Amino acid sequence: MANADSNDRRSVVVLLSGGLDSATVLAMARASGLACHALSVDYGQRHRWELDSAARVASSLGAASHRVVRVDLRAIGGSALTGHAAVPKGRTEPEIGGGIPATYVPARNLVFLSIGVGLAEVVGAAELHVGVNAVDYSGYPDCRPEFVGAFQRAADLATKAGVEGRGVAVRAPILAMTKAEIIREGVRLGVDYSLTRSCYDPDERGRACGACDACTIRRRGFDAAGVPDPTDYAEVGSD
Amino acid sequence: MANADSNDRRSVVVLLSGGLDSATVLAMARASGLACHALSVDYGQRHRWELDSAARVASSLGAASHRVVRVDLRAIGGSALTGHAAVPKGRTEPEIGGGIPATYVPARNLVFLSIGVGLAEVVGAAELHVGVNAVDYSGYPDCRPEFVGAFQRAADLATKAGVEGRGVAVRAPILAMTKAEIIREGVRLGVDYSLTRSCYDPDERGRACGACDACTIRRRGFDAAGVPDPTDYAEVGSD
C-alpha cells in the first residue's frame, strides 16, 4: 500500500462541469486515492442547471472542496451557449463532429484550464484533471490532445509553480476513450449518472431536450455501453 | 497611403488595465490606424480604481469599444492583489524583479490573454495587443517573451480562428522597452498619463500610495524619461 499511501498525500484539481465526462474523471481520481478540489465555472451558460449537477456530483464522489468561479463570457458573446442563437437540434454524423458548431464558446477551455492551473497553484495541487475527449465529441478544437500539450507548455511558463520547477501537470485521462468506455468506467467506479447533466438547452425544470448534440452523444453512449440511460428527458414527459 | 488605408480596415483587441503600459500600447495601435477594441478585466483586484482609469484612457484614445469582463479570481485567492495579504512597500532592487512577489496573481495573464483571444475571435480582430513588459517589471513569469510565444501556440490550437488558419496574432509591442522608453513613446503619441493608474494599493480616493512596486517602477520611469510625473500621490497630500 506504499503507493496508495503516497497518493493519499497528493491533491489535484478537477474541472467539473456537471456533465458525465468530468464526473467520470473525478471518480477516476478519487479511485486513485487523490484528494480532489473540484472547480466549476459559471460562465453565463444558458444551461446553468449543470452547476447544480456539479455540486451534487462533487458531494457524491467525496471531493475535498468545490468552488464555482464566475467568468462573464457573455460579455464576449459569440456562442449559442452564452447568447440567443439557436442551439442546433436533431443532428447526426457527419454534422456532429464534422465542423465547429454554434455551441463553440470562444476560448472556453483556454479560460477554464487557466483558472484550473491558478487554483492548483494556490492549493498546492500537483495536477489538473480535465474531462476533454476527442472521440465522441462535438468538434471543439480545444478538446484535442495537441491543444492540451500546448497549453501545458504555456502554463509551465506562466506560473510561479512552473518557474519553481514543481509545475502543474495537466491530465486528460479520458481523452482517447469512447463515450461508451467512459460510461462503463464510471459505472464500475460507482458514478451516479442521474446526477449529471449534459443538455445544452434544458427546459425550465432542468430536463434534457434530448435533441441537442450533447444529448445525442450522451444517449448513444449509454446505448453503446449497454447501460440504462438515467437522464430525465423533457420530451418523454414525466408528468 | 495604401498601407494606412489597409490598416484602417483592420481591427485589433487591446488589453487595457488602466496602467501606463497598456495605455501606451493602445496609443501605438491607434497611431497605426487600427480600430481598437479595448478589453479590461474586473478580477476582484483591490485596486479597482484602475478600471475607472481604463475607461477614461479608452475614451481619450478613441477606442472603437471598451468592454469590462468580470472574472472572480478572488474565488481562487493566492495573491496580495485579490486578498488581505499586505502589498509590499518601499522595495528597491534587487528585491523588485528579483523574485516573484506577493502581488503575483496565479494564472492572471493566462486568463487575460485567453479572454482577449476569445473577444478577438468574436469581433473578427486579427491581433491581440498586450502591454506585457520584461524590462522594468515586477518579476511576474507571465510577462516574459517565452510565455507569450507558448500562449500563441496554445491559442492557435484552441480556437476556431486558429483552426481556420486566420488565427489571432498576439503582439507585445513594448515587451523589450524600458519604462522610460515607454513613457517617451506615449508622450510622443499624446497619451495623457494623468488618466492612468499603476498603484496596487490606492487610498479611498484613488490616490497612489507611492511606495508599492508599481508606484516605484512608475516613478522611476518618469524620472528616467525626463517627463513630469502627473500621478496623484496620497502621501504628497493635495489637500
A118: chain B residues, CB-CB within 8 Å: 73, 76, 78, 105-108, 110-111
**CATH classification at residue B69:** 3.40.50.620
Q: Is A68 helix (H, G, I), strand (E, B) or coil?
A: strand
pLDDT given at position A235: 67
pTM of the model: 0.91
pLDDT given at position B199: 94
pLDDT given at position B36: 98
Residue A237, pLDDT above cutoff 50: no
A107 and B76 within 8 Å at the Cβ level: the answer is no
Q: Which of B70, B114, B162 sits opposite A70 (nearest CB)?
A: B70
Give domain status of residue A231, yes or no.
Answer: no
Helix (H) or strand (E) holding A222: helix A213-225
**How sure is the predictor about B53, in pLDDT bands with cuts at 50, 70 and 90?**
very high
For residue B214, the one-letter residue type is A
Contacts of B3 (CB under 8 A, 6+ apart): none
Task: Quick: pLDDT tens for A214-225.
Answer: 999 999 999 999
pLDDT given at position B135: 83
Q: What does the alpha-carbon distance between residue A25 and residue B19 come to, in Å, rounded to a whole number?
A: 41
Give domain status of residue B234, yes or no.
Answer: no
Give domain status of residue B198, yes or no.
Answer: yes
pLDDT given at position A86: 87
pLDDT given at position B2: 36
Give domain status of residue B238, yes or no.
Answer: no
Q: What does the alpha-carbon distance between residue B159 and residue A110 come to, in Å, rounded to a whole number?
A: 9
Q: Does A85 touch chain B (CB under 8 A)?
A: no
Mutate to test the interface with A, among B41, B103, B114 (most CBs of A within 10 A): B114
A68: chain B residues, CB-CB within 8 Å: 75
Q: Which of A72, A106, A159 sits opposite B69 (nearest CB)?
A: A72
Task: Quick: pLDDT tens for A109-146.
Answer: 999 999 999 999 999 999 999 999 988 777 889 899 99
**How sure is the predictor about A8, in pLDDT bands with cuts at 50, 70 and 90?**
very low
Q: Does B122 touch chain A (CB under 8 A)?
A: yes
pLDDT given at position B237: 45
pLDDT given at position B7: 30
Mutate to test the interface with B, among A76, A109, A170 (most CBs of B within 10 A): A76
Q: Which residue of B has its CA nearest to A103?
A: B160
Q: Does A66 touch chain B (CB under 8 A)?
A: no
Dihedral sign of CA atoms A185, A191, A194, A196 in order: negative
Give domain status of residue A235, yes or no.
Answer: no
Q: What does the alpha-carbon distance between residue A136 and residue A96 come to, in Å, rounded to a whole number?
A: 9
pLDDT given at position B47: 84
C-alpha distance across the termini of chain A, in Å: 51
pLDDT given at position B194: 97
Residues 148-207 of B with CB under 8 A from A: 150-151, 153-160, 162-163
**How sure is the predictor about B235, in pLDDT bands with cuts at 50, 70 and 90?**
low
How many CB atoms neighbour CB B232 within 10 A?
Answer: 17
Give domain status of residue A230, yes or no.
Answer: no
Please provide the average confidence, as pLDDT, over all residues in chain B.
90
Mutate to test the interface with B, among A73, A110, A151, A166 (most CBs of B within 10 A): A110
B146: chain A residues, CB-CB within 8 Å: 157
Give domain status of residue B153, yes or no.
Answer: yes
Q: Which of B77, B144, B158 sits opposite A109 (nearest CB)?
A: B158
Give how far B158 is from chain A: nearest CA, Å: 4
Task: Quick: pLDDT tens for B154-210.
Answer: 999 999 888 888 889 999 999 999 999 999 999 999 999 999 999 999 999 999 999
Task: Quick: pLDDT tens for B35-46.
Answer: 999 999 999 888
Residue A141, domain extent: 2-225
Contacts of B139 (CB under 8 A, 6+ apart): B96, B97, B98, B99, B100, B101, B104
Q: What does the alpha-carbon distance between residue A25 and residue A178 come to, in Å, rounded to a whole number?
A: 14
**How sure is the predictor about B95, in pLDDT bands with cuts at 50, 70 and 90?**
confident
Residue A57, pLDDT above cutoff 90: yes
Q: Among A105, A180, A197, which Cα is nearest to A142's? A: A105
Q: Which of A106, A154, A159 sits opposite B151 (nearest CB)?
A: A154
Contacts of A11 (CB under 8 A, 6+ apart): A34, A35, A36, A37, A64, A123, A124, A125, A126
Task: Quick: pLDDT tens for A144-180.
Answer: 999 999 999 999 999 988 888 888 999 999 999 999 9
Mutate to test the interface with B, among A15, A39, A72 (most CBs of B within 10 A): A72
Residue B27, pLDDT above cutoff 70: yes
Rounded to 10°, the helix A20-31/A179-188 angle is 40
B162: chain A residues, CB-CB within 8 Å: 141
Give domain status of residue A236, yes or no.
Answer: no
Whether omega for the bond prior to residue A94 falls within 30 degrees of 0, making it cis, is yes
| Tally of domains in chain A | 1
Could you give the dihedral angle defined by the CA atoms of residues B211, B217, B218 and B220, in that order, rounded to the nearest 10 degrees? 100
pLDDT given at position A99: 84
pLDDT given at position B1: 33
Strands (E), chain A: 11-15, 35-42, 65-70, 127-129, 169-171
pLDDT given at position B3: 36
pLDDT given at position A172: 97
Task: Quick: pLDDT tens for A78-110.
Answer: 898 888 888 899 898 888 888 888 889 899 999
